[in-house]
Structure 1
Amino acid sequence: MKAGQEFGFFQLINHGIPNDLMNDVLKVAGEFFRLPAEDKASFYSEDPKKACRLYTSIDYDKEKVHYWRDNLRQSCHPLDRYIEDWPANPTRYRKVMGKYALKVREVSLLILDLICEGLGLELGYFEAGGLSNVQLMGLNYYPICPDPSLTLGLPKHSDVNVITLLNQGLVLGLQVLKDEEWLSVEPIPNAFLVNIGHTLQIISNGKLRSVDHRVVTNKHIARATIANFVHPSGDSQIAPATALIDKCNLPLYRQFTYNEFVRTYVTDTHQGTPPLKRYEQSKP
C-alpha cells in the first residue's frame, strides 16, 4: 500500500505465473512484430474500438512528435469471445497468449482483493458493478533507435484504468515521475510492474495515486513488453467507495460513468490538462 500511495507503482514477484510463460510471451511478441509488414497488414487500424488493433502511434495525425513504438492492442476477456480475432502467425501465438491472459487475470483479481483488504473494502468490490469486467492486452515493441535523444517510446502519460500489470522483460525503458524527477524502473526478472490507474485513485478517494510515466528508447537493443489493463465496463459508475467516506473524509471526486471518463481523458491528455481536474469536488 505504501508504494501505491507514494509512487503509484510497485513490483510484484512470487505471483505464481511460471517463469517460462513470462519469458515465452515476450519472445512470441517479438516474433510477431518482426514478421514482414504484409503478414501484419490486416491488423492495422485507426479504429480504437476494434477488438484487435495494430498501430504505430497513439494519434498520428494530432501528435507534434511521433513516438518510437509499435503496439498491438487486443481484448482478452472473456477469452473465447476474442481469441479468434488475434493473430494466427506465429503459429503458437494464440496458445501462448491465451494461456497468459487467463493467468494474468487471476493475478489481477487477487491484487485487487489485496487492495480491498488494505483499503478496508469488502473482498470482491472490484468485481461488483463491472469495475474489473474489461481486460485488454497491449503488446509493445520498441525497435533499436539510432538517436534516443530525438524521440521517446511513449510520452509522459498516466493510465485511465483501474490497474495495469506490465511484463517488461529485462531491458530498461520505463521511467516514473517522482518529485519532478524521472526515475528509471529497474526490471526484476519475471516480475510484474503494477501501476495504479486514475480509476483506482478515484475509488480509493485519493489514498492510492496514479502517476505520470514514460518510456525511453534504446540505441543498442530492441525491447518488447506486454501490459495487461483492467478496466471497468463503460456504463460502470465511478466514484469514491462509500466505505471510505465519512465526515472526516469527504469525497474528493464526483460520480460519473466510465465511458464519460474515457472520452474526457483522451481530450484532456491531448490538451495537456490533468484528466482528473474536471471531476474534483469543489472544496467547501
Structure 2
Amino acid sequence: METEAPSRTGNGWTRVGKTLPVRNVQALAACTDELTAECLERYIRPDRDDGEVLSGEVPAIDLRRLLSPDHLEEEAARLRSACEDWGFFQLVNHGIPDEIIANIKRDIQEFFKLPLEVKNVYAQRPGDIQGYGQAFVLSEDQKLDWSDLFAIYAQPPEARDLSYWPTHPQTLRKSIEDYSSELMQVAHYVVTFIAKTLHIDTELMADKYVGQAFRMNYYPPCMSMAEKVLGFSPHSDGSFVTLLLQVNPVEGLQIRRHDAWIPVKPHPKALLVNVGDFLEIMSNGAYKSVEHRVTINANQERLSISAFHFPLFDGTISPVTRTPEEKVLYKTMKVKEYAELYMSNKLDGKRTLDHAKLL
C-alpha cells in the first residue's frame, strides 16, 4: 500500500512524500543464505560505474576562525571558495560539546541494534513519511538502495510528532533534542556567513533554514555484491543546507566533481556541510548543490545522521542578484511547489532542480 502523508503537525512537509513499503535491508543482509542473485536483483545497479573514482580533499572551514574578527576575512574567503568550487566543506571547531556528539552517536547505534520488531514500532505509517523504513520508492520495479532509514522532524518544536521519537534506548529522545538544539545554532552561523560571502542581507535568509529534519542512515555490509549496489542513489539535497554527522568511521559517501566521484574521508571532529537546492536557487547559481551518493562496504556497516535545514513550507524562494546586469537564472517558486516535486520523484541526480531553471 502506498503512503501519502497529510500533515499531522501543520508544518506541511510530512504530506508531500510518497513511498512504497519494501523489505528491511538490515534484516536481509543478516540472512546470508538468502543473498542470492535473484534476491538481490532489485539492488544491483547497472549505473554503479557511471564515472571514474578519483581522490580529492574536501575543504575544511573553521567556525572558530569565522567568529574571530582577526581571522574572519581570510576564513570567509575560504568559505566562499569551498561553496563555489565544491558545494561541500568539513566544518571544524563547530562548538557542539563532545558529550552531546558522543551521546547521539551512541544512541543511534543502539537503536539500529534493536530487534526489527522493536524498531518497527516506529515504522512509517500510512499518511506520513516520518519513521523507520524507506523513502523515494515509487514503483514496484525501480532499483532500491541498500540502506534503511529512520526519519523525524525536529524543528520547529511544534512540528514534532513524538510518537515517532523512540523510547528505546531510553536516552535517545534527550540525545536527539540536545543535538537538534545545538545544530540549529551551528546552522545559524553557517547560513549567516554564507549570506555575507554572497553579499546578501542576512534577514533575507532568516526563514530559509528554520525547519530541521533528521534522517538517520544505516548501510549494512554487502559481502557478496558491494561493488554492484548503492546505499543511496545519486542526488542533490532538497534543503537549504545539510549538516551531516558520521556516526562511525566507515567510508562510503562520494560527491560528483568534474564528472568523477570523489570519496569523502570522515573527519572525526567535523560536521560535513553541503549546499542544498534552495540555496542554489537563492544564490542564483553562485553556489550549486552537488550530486552525491553512498557506496557500500563489503564487511562493515556505516551509519550517519543527515540534518536537512529547509525554509518555511508556506514561504517563497527567489534568486537574489547582486548587480543590475546579472541575469536571473532561476524562477521564483513556492517552497511547497518545489518540495512536492522533489519528494514525489525517485532520486535521480539534480533532475528536480531543472524545473526551477529559466530557459
TM-score, normalised with respect to structure 2: 0.72
CA distance, structure 2, for counterparts of residue 167 and residue 22 of structure 1: 9
Unpaired segments ≥5 residues, structure 1: none
- Please say if 1:159 is aligned against 2:213: no
Q: CA deviation at 1:92?
A: 0.5
Structure 1 position 134, deviation (Å) = 1.1
Quote the residue 2:146 is aligned against. Answer: 68
Among candidates 158, 175, 185, match of residue 96 of structure 1: 175
SS of 1:111's equivalent in the other structure is helix
- Say whether 1:237 aligns with 2:310: no
Matched residue, 1:134: 211
Task: Quote the offset at 1:63 in angstroms.
Answer: 5.6
Do the aligned partners of 1:167 and 1:225 also contact (CA within 8 Å) in 2?
A: yes
**2:324 aligned residue:** 247
Match of 2:220 among 130, 143, 162: 143
- Paired residues of 2:138 and 2:345 also in contact (CA < 8 A): no
**1:27-38 to 2 correspondence within 5 Å?**
27-38=106-117
| Residue 102 of structure 1, CA deviation | 0.4
* Contact 1:83 1:98 (8 Å CA) reproduced: no
Answering whether residue 355 of structure 2 is matched by residue 278 of structure 1, we say yes
SS in 2 for 1:23: helix
C-alpha spacing 1:63/1:88, structure 2 compared with 1 (3 Å):
farther
Q: 2:94 aligns with which of 2, 10, 15?
A: 15
1:69-88 to 2 correspondence within 5 Å?
69-79=147-157, 82=160, 84-85=162-163, 86-88=165-167
Q: Which residue matches 1:256?
A: 333
Equivalent of 2:290 in 203, 208, 211: 211
Cα displacement (A) at 1:186:
0.7
Hey, what does 1:180 align to over in structure 2? Answer: 259
Cα 1:93–1:267 shift into 2, 3 Å: closer
Q: 1:269 to 1:208 in 2, by over 3 A?
A: farther
Matched, 1:228 2:300: no
Q: How many angstroms apart in 2 are the aligned matches of 1:273 and 1:12? A: 24
- Runs of 4 or more above 6 Å deviation: none
In structure 2, the gaps of 5 or more residues are: 1-79
Percent of aligned positions that are identical = 30
**AA matched with 2:341:** T
Partners in 2 of 1:70 and 1:87 — Cα distance?
A: 16
Counterpart CA distance in 2 for 1:196 and 1:38 is 36
Instruction: Count the aligned residue pairs.
Output: 277
**Cα offset, 1:238, TM superposition:** 0.8
